Amino acid sequence: MGTIISVSLLFHILIVSISLISAEKCYDTGNFRPNSTYANNRDLLLSSLASNVTANGGFYNTTTGQYNDTVYALVLCISDPSAEDCASCVNSAIQELIVACPSQKEAISWGGDPVPCIVRYANRPILGTMELSPTDYGYNTGYLKSNLTDFDHIWTSLMTATVARASMNSSRLKMAAGVAKLTSSEKIYVLMQCTPDISQSDCSNCLQNTVTEFRRCCFGRQGGYVQKPNCFLRWDLYPFYQVFSESPGPPPDFITSSPSPTNTTSTINEGKGNNSPRNLVAIIVPPIIFFAFVVLACTFFYFRKPKQDVERK
Ligand SMILES: *[C@@H]1O[C@H](CO)[C@@H](O)[C@H](O)[C@H]1NC(C)=O
Ligand SMILES: *[C@@H]1O[C@H](CO)[C@@H](O)[C@H](O)[C@H]1NC(C)=O
Ligand SMILES: *[C@@H]1O[C@H](CO)[C@@H](O)[C@H](O)[C@H]1NC(C)=O
Ligand SMILES: *[C@@H]1O[C@H](CO)[C@@H](O)[C@H](O)[C@H]1NC(C)=O
Ligand SMILES: *[C@@H]1O[C@H](CO)[C@@H](O)[C@H](O)[C@H]1NC(C)=O
Ligand SMILES: *[C@@H]1O[C@H](CO)[C@@H](O)[C@H](O)[C@H]1NC(C)=O
Ligand SMILES: *[C@@H]1O[C@H](CO)[C@@H](O)[C@H](O)[C@H]1NC(C)=O
Protein backbone atom coordinates (compact mmCIF):
# COMPACT_ATOMS: atom_id res chain seq x y z
CA MET A 1 0.00 0.00 0.00
CA GLY A 2 2.78 2.39 0.95
CA THR A 3 4.39 1.68 -2.38
CA ILE A 4 1.23 2.30 -4.32
CA ILE A 5 0.56 5.56 -2.52
CA SER A 6 4.08 6.92 -2.99
CA VAL A 7 4.18 5.86 -6.63
CA SER A 8 0.81 7.37 -7.45
CA LEU A 9 1.78 10.52 -5.56
CA LEU A 10 4.93 10.64 -7.62
CA PHE A 11 3.00 10.29 -10.84
CA HIS A 12 0.60 12.98 -9.76
CA ILE A 13 3.44 15.40 -9.13
CA LEU A 14 5.13 14.37 -12.34
CA ILE A 15 2.01 15.10 -14.39
CA VAL A 16 1.38 18.37 -12.59
CA SER A 17 4.92 19.57 -13.13
CA ILE A 18 4.90 18.77 -16.84
CA SER A 19 1.60 20.26 -17.92
CA LEU A 20 1.62 24.01 -17.67
CA ILE A 21 -1.82 25.47 -17.15
CA SER A 22 -4.94 23.74 -18.32
CA ALA A 23 -8.54 24.07 -17.18
CA GLU A 24 -12.00 23.56 -18.58
CA LYS A 25 -15.32 25.10 -17.70
CA CYS A 26 -18.64 23.64 -18.86
CA TYR A 27 -21.55 26.08 -18.92
CA ASP A 28 -24.91 24.91 -17.52
CA THR A 29 -26.90 26.43 -20.38
CA GLY A 30 -28.14 23.14 -21.78
CA ASN A 31 -27.00 19.77 -23.06
CA PHE A 32 -27.13 18.08 -26.43
CA ARG A 33 -27.85 14.41 -27.11
CA PRO A 34 -25.04 12.16 -28.36
CA ASN A 35 -25.07 11.83 -32.18
CA SER A 36 -27.49 14.74 -32.55
CA THR A 37 -26.95 17.36 -35.27
CA TYR A 38 -25.49 19.73 -32.65
CA ALA A 39 -23.12 17.01 -31.43
CA ASN A 40 -21.88 16.32 -34.94
CA ASN A 41 -21.55 20.03 -35.72
CA ARG A 42 -19.53 20.55 -32.55
CA ASP A 43 -17.16 17.71 -33.32
CA LEU A 44 -16.71 18.87 -36.90
CA LEU A 45 -16.05 22.41 -35.75
CA LEU A 46 -13.59 21.45 -33.02
CA SER A 47 -11.60 19.24 -35.38
CA SER A 48 -11.05 22.15 -37.79
CA LEU A 49 -9.85 24.70 -35.22
CA ALA A 50 -6.14 23.87 -34.84
CA SER A 51 -5.34 24.11 -38.55
CA ASN A 52 -7.46 27.21 -39.06
CA VAL A 53 -6.14 29.17 -36.09
CA THR A 54 -2.54 28.66 -37.18
CA ALA A 55 -3.47 29.64 -40.77
CA ASN A 56 -5.06 32.80 -39.34
CA GLY A 57 -2.18 34.10 -37.27
CA GLY A 58 -3.27 32.94 -33.81
CA PHE A 59 -6.91 34.04 -33.68
CA TYR A 60 -9.87 32.41 -35.38
CA ASN A 61 -13.67 32.60 -35.16
CA THR A 62 -16.06 30.38 -37.04
CA THR A 63 -19.50 28.74 -37.06
CA THR A 64 -20.91 25.44 -38.27
CA GLY A 65 -24.51 24.36 -38.81
CA GLN A 66 -27.86 26.11 -39.15
CA TYR A 67 -30.60 27.51 -36.95
CA ASN A 68 -30.46 26.31 -33.36
CA ASP A 69 -27.92 23.65 -34.27
CA THR A 70 -25.36 26.35 -35.06
CA VAL A 71 -22.12 26.05 -33.13
CA TYR A 72 -19.97 29.17 -32.68
CA ALA A 73 -16.29 28.91 -31.85
CA LEU A 74 -13.43 31.23 -30.96
CA VAL A 75 -9.75 30.32 -30.54
CA LEU A 76 -6.78 32.41 -29.41
CA CYS A 77 -3.15 31.43 -29.06
CA ILE A 78 -1.43 33.48 -26.36
CA SER A 79 2.16 34.76 -26.50
CA ASP A 80 3.11 32.78 -29.59
CA PRO A 81 1.03 32.46 -32.75
CA SER A 82 3.69 30.26 -34.41
CA ALA A 83 2.02 27.30 -36.04
CA GLU A 84 3.52 24.41 -34.13
CA ASP A 85 3.13 25.60 -30.52
CA CYS A 86 -0.28 27.11 -31.21
CA ALA A 87 -1.66 23.97 -32.85
CA SER A 88 -0.40 21.69 -30.12
CA CYS A 89 -1.94 23.85 -27.40
CA VAL A 90 -5.27 24.00 -29.24
CA ASN A 91 -5.29 20.28 -29.92
CA SER A 92 -4.68 19.33 -26.31
CA ALA A 93 -7.16 21.94 -25.05
CA ILE A 94 -9.81 20.38 -27.33
CA GLN A 95 -9.01 16.85 -26.14
CA GLU A 96 -9.50 17.95 -22.54
CA LEU A 97 -12.61 19.92 -23.41
CA ILE A 98 -14.30 16.92 -25.00
CA VAL A 99 -13.56 14.78 -21.96
CA ALA A 100 -14.55 17.41 -19.37
CA CYS A 101 -17.67 18.67 -21.16
CA PRO A 102 -18.99 15.71 -23.17
CA SER A 103 -22.51 17.02 -23.79
CA GLN A 104 -22.62 20.69 -22.82
CA LYS A 105 -23.82 23.13 -25.46
CA GLU A 106 -21.26 25.66 -24.33
CA ALA A 107 -17.78 25.28 -22.87
CA ILE A 108 -14.35 26.86 -22.58
CA SER A 109 -10.90 25.37 -22.26
CA TRP A 110 -7.70 27.20 -21.36
CA GLY A 111 -4.75 25.21 -22.61
CA GLY A 112 -1.22 25.74 -21.37
CA ASP A 113 1.17 23.55 -23.26
CA PRO A 114 3.62 24.65 -24.59
CA VAL A 115 2.08 28.14 -24.75
CA PRO A 116 -1.32 29.20 -23.40
CA CYS A 117 -4.43 29.25 -25.57
CA ILE A 118 -8.19 29.75 -25.24
CA VAL A 119 -10.70 27.47 -27.01
CA ARG A 120 -14.39 28.29 -26.71
CA TYR A 121 -17.58 27.08 -28.33
CA ALA A 122 -21.25 27.95 -27.75
CA ASN A 123 -24.74 27.70 -29.23
CA ARG A 124 -24.92 31.51 -29.31
CA PRO A 125 -22.81 34.21 -30.98
CA ILE A 126 -19.75 34.93 -28.82
CA LEU A 127 -17.63 37.04 -31.15
CA GLY A 128 -17.10 40.64 -30.12
CA THR A 129 -18.72 40.36 -26.69
CA MET A 130 -16.42 40.78 -23.71
CA GLU A 131 -17.26 38.37 -20.88
CA LEU A 132 -15.65 38.52 -17.46
CA SER A 133 -16.59 35.04 -16.31
CA PRO A 134 -15.78 32.25 -15.94
CA THR A 135 -12.33 32.92 -14.50
CA ASP A 136 -9.47 30.53 -13.98
CA TYR A 137 -6.49 31.46 -11.86
CA GLY A 138 -3.46 30.01 -10.21
CA TYR A 139 -0.43 31.24 -8.30
CA ASN A 140 3.13 30.41 -7.61
CA THR A 141 3.11 28.79 -4.17
CA GLY A 142 6.22 30.72 -3.09
CA TYR A 143 5.86 33.94 -1.13
CA LEU A 144 7.57 37.22 -1.96
CA LYS A 145 10.64 37.92 0.11
CA SER A 146 11.02 41.59 -0.78
CA ASN A 147 9.44 44.55 1.02
CA LEU A 148 5.71 44.25 0.21
CA THR A 149 5.15 48.00 0.24
CA ASP A 150 7.84 48.52 -2.36
CA PHE A 151 6.66 45.47 -4.30
CA ASP A 152 3.07 46.71 -4.37
CA HIS A 153 4.14 50.07 -5.76
CA ILE A 154 6.32 48.60 -8.52
CA TRP A 155 3.91 45.77 -9.37
CA THR A 156 0.88 48.07 -9.59
CA SER A 157 2.61 50.56 -11.90
CA LEU A 158 3.87 47.74 -14.10
CA MET A 159 0.37 46.23 -14.30
CA THR A 160 -1.26 49.58 -15.10
CA ALA A 161 1.27 50.35 -17.83
CA THR A 162 0.96 46.89 -19.35
CA VAL A 163 -2.86 47.00 -19.38
CA ALA A 164 -2.62 50.24 -21.35
CA ARG A 165 0.00 48.90 -23.77
CA ALA A 166 -1.87 45.65 -24.43
CA SER A 167 -5.28 47.25 -24.96
CA MET A 168 -3.86 50.03 -27.16
CA ASN A 169 -1.62 47.69 -29.17
CA SER A 170 -2.30 48.47 -32.82
CA SER A 171 -1.22 45.02 -33.98
CA ARG A 172 -3.96 42.44 -34.55
CA LEU A 173 -3.06 40.46 -31.42
CA LYS A 174 -3.63 42.76 -28.47
CA MET A 175 -0.61 41.66 -26.51
CA ALA A 176 2.01 43.30 -24.30
CA ALA A 177 4.94 42.02 -22.28
CA GLY A 178 6.50 44.16 -19.56
CA VAL A 179 9.44 44.03 -17.17
CA ALA A 180 10.15 46.10 -14.06
CA LYS A 181 13.10 46.06 -11.68
CA LEU A 182 12.05 44.93 -8.19
CA THR A 183 15.39 44.72 -6.36
CA SER A 184 18.99 44.78 -7.55
CA SER A 185 18.72 41.10 -8.41
CA GLU A 186 15.01 40.60 -9.10
CA LYS A 187 12.63 41.70 -11.85
CA ILE A 188 8.90 41.35 -12.38
CA TYR A 189 7.88 39.91 -15.75
CA VAL A 190 4.31 40.23 -17.03
CA LEU A 191 2.41 39.18 -20.12
CA MET A 192 -1.11 40.35 -20.97
CA GLN A 193 -3.27 39.60 -23.99
CA CYS A 194 -6.90 40.07 -25.13
CA THR A 195 -8.87 38.37 -27.87
CA PRO A 196 -8.68 40.77 -30.84
CA ASP A 197 -12.45 40.85 -31.40
CA ILE A 198 -13.15 43.12 -28.39
CA SER A 199 -12.71 46.90 -28.27
CA GLN A 200 -9.83 48.75 -26.69
CA SER A 201 -11.94 49.75 -23.67
CA ASP A 202 -13.30 46.21 -23.21
CA CYS A 203 -9.76 44.84 -23.38
CA SER A 204 -8.58 47.37 -20.82
CA ASN A 205 -11.56 46.58 -18.57
CA CYS A 206 -11.01 42.81 -18.87
CA LEU A 207 -7.29 43.07 -18.02
CA GLN A 208 -7.93 45.46 -15.13
CA ASN A 209 -10.28 42.81 -13.74
CA THR A 210 -7.58 40.15 -13.95
CA VAL A 211 -5.19 42.44 -12.03
CA THR A 212 -7.81 43.20 -9.35
CA GLU A 213 -8.70 39.53 -9.00
CA PHE A 214 -5.08 38.47 -8.72
CA ARG A 215 -4.53 41.05 -6.02
CA ARG A 216 -7.62 39.83 -4.16
CA CYS A 217 -6.78 36.12 -4.30
CA CYS A 218 -3.05 35.95 -4.34
CA PHE A 219 -1.26 39.09 -3.21
CA GLY A 220 2.11 38.24 -1.68
CA ARG A 221 2.73 35.27 -3.95
CA GLN A 222 5.74 35.14 -6.24
CA GLY A 223 3.72 34.91 -9.44
CA GLY A 224 0.59 33.58 -11.05
CA TYR A 225 -2.04 33.97 -13.71
CA VAL A 226 -5.69 34.90 -14.24
CA GLN A 227 -7.51 33.93 -17.41
CA LYS A 228 -10.96 34.82 -18.65
CA PRO A 229 -12.87 34.15 -21.89
CA ASN A 230 -11.44 37.31 -23.47
CA CYS A 231 -8.15 38.06 -21.72
CA PHE A 232 -5.10 36.63 -20.04
CA LEU A 233 -2.60 37.79 -17.39
CA ARG A 234 0.52 36.03 -16.20
CA TRP A 235 3.39 37.41 -14.16
CA ASP A 236 6.41 35.89 -12.47
CA LEU A 237 9.82 36.83 -11.08
CA TYR A 238 11.50 35.09 -14.01
CA PRO A 239 11.01 35.28 -17.80
CA PHE A 240 8.57 32.76 -19.26
CA TYR A 241 7.44 31.68 -22.73
CA GLN A 242 9.53 33.43 -25.38
CA VAL A 243 8.18 36.95 -24.98
CA PHE A 244 11.09 38.51 -23.11
CA SER A 245 14.53 39.15 -24.53
CA GLU A 246 16.03 37.07 -21.72
CA SER A 247 15.81 33.32 -22.19
CA PRO A 248 12.94 31.71 -20.28
CA GLY A 249 13.37 29.93 -16.97
CA PRO A 250 14.49 31.09 -13.54
CA PRO A 251 18.10 32.30 -13.43
CA PRO A 252 20.38 29.76 -11.69
CA ASP A 253 21.06 31.91 -8.62
CA PHE A 254 17.33 32.49 -8.25
CA ILE A 255 16.68 28.82 -7.53
CA THR A 256 19.37 28.57 -4.87
CA SER A 257 18.56 31.88 -3.17
CA SER A 258 14.84 31.15 -2.96
CA PRO A 259 13.97 27.53 -3.58
CA SER A 260 10.27 27.94 -4.30
CA PRO A 261 9.71 28.99 -7.88
CA THR A 262 10.27 26.94 -10.96
CA ASN A 263 9.18 27.27 -14.49
CA THR A 264 6.34 24.82 -14.27
CA THR A 265 2.90 25.70 -13.03
CA SER A 266 -0.32 23.80 -13.31
CA THR A 267 -3.87 23.94 -12.19
CA ILE A 268 -5.62 21.08 -10.55
CA ASN A 269 -8.46 20.39 -12.88
CA GLU A 270 -11.80 21.60 -11.67
CA GLY A 271 -14.55 18.99 -11.37
CA LYS A 272 -15.89 17.84 -14.71
CA GLY A 273 -18.77 20.03 -15.64
CA ASN A 274 -19.64 21.36 -12.22
CA ASN A 275 -20.24 25.02 -11.58
CA SER A 276 -18.54 25.50 -8.27
CA PRO A 277 -16.49 28.65 -7.65
CA ARG A 278 -13.25 28.63 -9.56
CA ASN A 279 -10.66 28.47 -6.85
CA LEU A 280 -7.92 26.74 -8.74
CA VAL A 281 -4.48 26.38 -7.27
CA ALA A 282 -1.20 26.21 -9.06
CA ILE A 283 1.36 23.77 -7.82
CA ILE A 284 4.99 24.61 -8.16
CA VAL A 285 7.30 21.71 -7.57
CA PRO A 286 10.78 22.82 -6.56
CA PRO A 287 13.31 20.71 -8.46
CA ILE A 288 15.14 19.69 -5.28
CA ILE A 289 11.99 18.46 -3.57
CA PHE A 290 10.89 16.76 -6.76
CA PHE A 291 14.22 14.97 -7.00
CA ALA A 292 13.96 13.93 -3.37
CA PHE A 293 10.53 12.51 -4.12
CA VAL A 294 11.84 10.49 -7.03
CA VAL A 295 14.62 9.03 -4.92
CA LEU A 296 12.27 8.34 -2.02
CA ALA A 297 9.62 6.72 -4.17
CA CYS A 298 12.16 4.60 -6.03
CA THR A 299 13.66 3.44 -2.73
CA PHE A 300 10.20 2.58 -1.44
CA PHE A 301 9.35 0.74 -4.61
CA TYR A 302 12.61 -1.18 -4.63
CA PHE A 303 12.40 -2.38 -1.03
CA ARG A 304 8.68 -2.97 -0.82
CA LYS A 305 8.16 -4.96 -3.97
CA PRO A 306 9.59 -8.34 -2.87
CA LYS A 307 7.58 -8.14 0.35
CA GLN A 308 4.38 -7.61 -1.58
CA ASP A 309 5.13 -10.56 -3.81
CA VAL A 310 5.61 -12.73 -0.73
CA GLU A 311 2.38 -11.48 0.84
CA ARG A 312 0.39 -12.38 -2.23
CA LYS A 313 1.40 -16.04 -2.14
C1 LIG B 1 -25.51 8.16 -35.39
O2 LIG B 1 -26.42 8.56 -36.40
C3 LIG B 1 -26.23 7.91 -37.64
C4 LIG B 1 -27.23 8.47 -38.64
O5 LIG B 1 -27.66 9.75 -38.31
C6 LIG B 1 -26.41 6.42 -37.46
O7 LIG B 1 -26.14 5.75 -38.69
C8 LIG B 1 -25.46 5.90 -36.39
O9 LIG B 1 -25.70 4.53 -36.14
C10 LIG B 1 -25.63 6.68 -35.09
N11 LIG B 1 -24.63 6.25 -34.13
C12 LIG B 1 -24.91 6.04 -32.86
C13 LIG B 1 -23.78 5.61 -31.99
O14 LIG B 1 -26.02 6.19 -32.38
C1 LIG C 1 -10.65 25.32 -41.78
O2 LIG C 1 -10.23 23.97 -41.71
C3 LIG C 1 -10.96 23.11 -42.55
C4 LIG C 1 -10.49 21.69 -42.28
O5 LIG C 1 -9.38 21.63 -41.47
C6 LIG C 1 -10.78 23.51 -44.00
O7 LIG C 1 -11.54 22.67 -44.83
C8 LIG C 1 -11.23 24.96 -44.15
O9 LIG C 1 -11.01 25.39 -45.46
C10 LIG C 1 -10.52 25.87 -43.20
N11 LIG C 1 -11.09 27.21 -43.27
C12 LIG C 1 -10.38 28.31 -43.32
C13 LIG C 1 -11.12 29.61 -43.40
O14 LIG C 1 -9.16 28.29 -43.29
C1 LIG D 1 -35.08 24.70 -32.48
O2 LIG D 1 -35.95 25.81 -32.40
C3 LIG D 1 -37.29 25.50 -32.73
C4 LIG D 1 -38.11 26.78 -32.68
O5 LIG D 1 -37.31 27.93 -32.85
C6 LIG D 1 -37.83 24.47 -31.75
O7 LIG D 1 -39.14 24.09 -32.12
C8 LIG D 1 -36.93 23.24 -31.78
O9 LIG D 1 -37.34 22.32 -30.79
C10 LIG D 1 -35.50 23.63 -31.51
N11 LIG D 1 -34.64 22.47 -31.65
C12 LIG D 1 -33.76 22.14 -30.75
C13 LIG D 1 -32.92 20.95 -31.04
O14 LIG D 1 -33.61 22.77 -29.70
C1 LIG E 1 9.36 48.85 3.29
O2 LIG E 1 9.85 50.01 2.67
C3 LIG E 1 9.23 51.22 3.11
C4 LIG E 1 9.77 52.37 2.30
O5 LIG E 1 10.15 51.98 1.02
C6 LIG E 1 9.48 51.41 4.60
O7 LIG E 1 8.78 52.56 5.05
C8 LIG E 1 8.96 50.18 5.35
O9 LIG E 1 9.29 50.29 6.71
C10 LIG E 1 9.56 48.91 4.76
N11 LIG E 1 8.93 47.77 5.43
C12 LIG E 1 9.63 46.74 5.87
C13 LIG E 1 8.83 45.62 6.50
O14 LIG E 1 10.83 46.69 5.76
C1 LIG F 1 1.93 44.55 -29.76
O2 LIG F 1 1.75 43.20 -30.07
C3 LIG F 1 2.82 42.59 -30.77
C4 LIG F 1 2.43 41.16 -31.07
O5 LIG F 1 1.26 41.11 -31.79
C6 LIG F 1 4.09 42.67 -29.95
O7 LIG F 1 5.17 42.11 -30.67
C8 LIG F 1 4.39 44.11 -29.59
O9 LIG F 1 5.50 44.17 -28.74
C10 LIG F 1 3.18 44.75 -28.90
N11 LIG F 1 3.41 46.15 -28.65
C12 LIG F 1 3.58 46.66 -27.43
C13 LIG F 1 3.70 48.12 -27.34
O14 LIG F 1 3.61 45.95 -26.42
C1 LIG G 1 -14.73 36.30 -37.80
O2 LIG G 1 -15.04 35.45 -38.89
C3 LIG G 1 -15.62 36.12 -39.99
C4 LIG G 1 -16.02 35.07 -41.00
O5 LIG G 1 -14.96 34.23 -41.32
C6 LIG G 1 -14.63 37.11 -40.55
O7 LIG G 1 -15.17 37.81 -41.65
C8 LIG G 1 -14.25 38.12 -39.46
O9 LIG G 1 -13.25 38.98 -39.93
C10 LIG G 1 -13.74 37.37 -38.24
N11 LIG G 1 -13.55 38.33 -37.16
C12 LIG G 1 -12.37 38.50 -36.55
C13 LIG G 1 -12.35 39.53 -35.47
O14 LIG G 1 -11.38 37.82 -36.80
C1 LIG H 1 10.92 26.74 -18.98
O2 LIG H 1 9.84 26.41 -19.82
C3 LIG H 1 10.16 26.44 -21.18
C4 LIG H 1 8.89 26.14 -21.97
O5 LIG H 1 7.83 26.84 -21.44
C6 LIG H 1 11.25 25.40 -21.46
O7 LIG H 1 11.62 25.45 -22.83
C8 LIG H 1 12.46 25.69 -20.61
O9 LIG H 1 13.43 24.69 -20.78
C10 LIG H 1 12.06 25.76 -19.14
N11 LIG H 1 13.19 26.16 -18.34
C12 LIG H 1 13.49 25.57 -17.18
C13 LIG H 1 14.66 26.12 -16.45
O14 LIG H 1 12.82 24.66 -16.71
Residue 218's closest CA among 151, 128, 306?
151
Best-predicted range by mean pLDDT among 122-131, 140-149, 237-246, 256-265?
Answer: 122-131
pLDDT band for position 24 (cuts 50, 70, 90)? very high
Residue whose Cα lies nearest atom 9 of ligand 5: it is 176
Q: Is residue 88 in a domain?
A: no
> How far is residue 112's CA from residue 22's CA, in Å, rounded to a whole number?
5
Atom of ligand 4 nearest to the CA of 153: 5
Q: How many domains does the chain have?
A: 1
Report whether residue 183 contacts ligand 4, using a CB cutoff of 6 Å: no
Per-residue pLDDT at 288 = 52
Best-predicted range by mean pLDDT among 9-13, 27-31, 281-285?
Answer: 27-31
CB 232, CB 192: distance < 8 Å: yes
Q: What is the dihedral of CA 266, 272, 276, 282, to 10 degrees?
A: -10
Atom of ligand 5 nearest to the CA of 168: 13
pLDDT band for position 304 (cuts 50, 70, 90)? low
Per-residue pLDDT at 246 = 77
Among the listed ranges 31-35, 154-158, 274-278, which one has the minimum average pLDDT value? 274-278
Q: Is residue 180 in a domain?
A: yes
Q: Is residue 154 in a domain?
A: yes
Q: Which of 41, 47, 49, 52 to mutate to test the pocket of ligand 2 (most atoms within 8 A of CB)?
A: 52
More confident residue, 193 or 20: 193
Q: Is residue 92 in a domain?
A: no
Tell me if residue 23 falls in helix, strand or coil.
Answer: strand
pLDDT per residue as tens digits for the range 73-103: 999 999 987 889 999 999 999 999 999 999 9
Per-residue pLDDT at 21 = 58
Residue whose Cα lies nearest atom 10 of ligand 5: it is 176
Question: Could you tell me the CATH number of the domain that includes residue 140?
Answer: 3.30.430.20
Report whether residue 17 contacts ligand 6, using a CB cutoff of 6 Å: no
Pocket of ligand 7 (CB under 6 A): 114, 248-249, 263
Q: Is residue 35 in a domain?
A: no
Ligand lying nearest the CA atom of residue 172 = 5
Taking residue 48's Cβ as centre, other Cβ atoms within 10 Å add up to 14
Q: Is residue 94 in a domain?
A: no
Report whether residue 72 contacts ligand 6, using a CB cutoff of 6 Å: no
HSE-CB of 293 using CA atoms within 13 angstroms: 17
pLDDT band for position 268 (cuts 50, 70, 90)? very low
CB 261, CB 238: distance < 8 Å: yes
Q: Is residue 229 in a domain?
A: yes
Atom of ligand 7 nearest to the CA of 114: 5
Q: Whole domain around residue 203: which residue ranges?
A: 132-260
Per-residue pLDDT at 276 = 32
Crossing angle of helices 148-167 and 200-218, in 10° steps, is 160
Query: Does residue 19 surpass a pLDDT of 80?
Result: no
Residue whose Cα lies nearest atom 13 of ligand 7: it is 249
Q: What share of the chain has pLDDT > 70, as a percent?
A: 72
pLDDT band for position 311 (cuts 50, 70, 90)? very low
Q: Is residue 252 in a domain?
A: yes
pLDDT band for position 270 (cuts 50, 70, 90)? very low
Ligand lying nearest the CA atom of residue 151 = 4
Atom of ligand 4 nearest to the CA of 147: 1
Among the listed ranges 110-114, 157-161, 195-199, 225-229, which one has the minimum average pLDDT value? 110-114
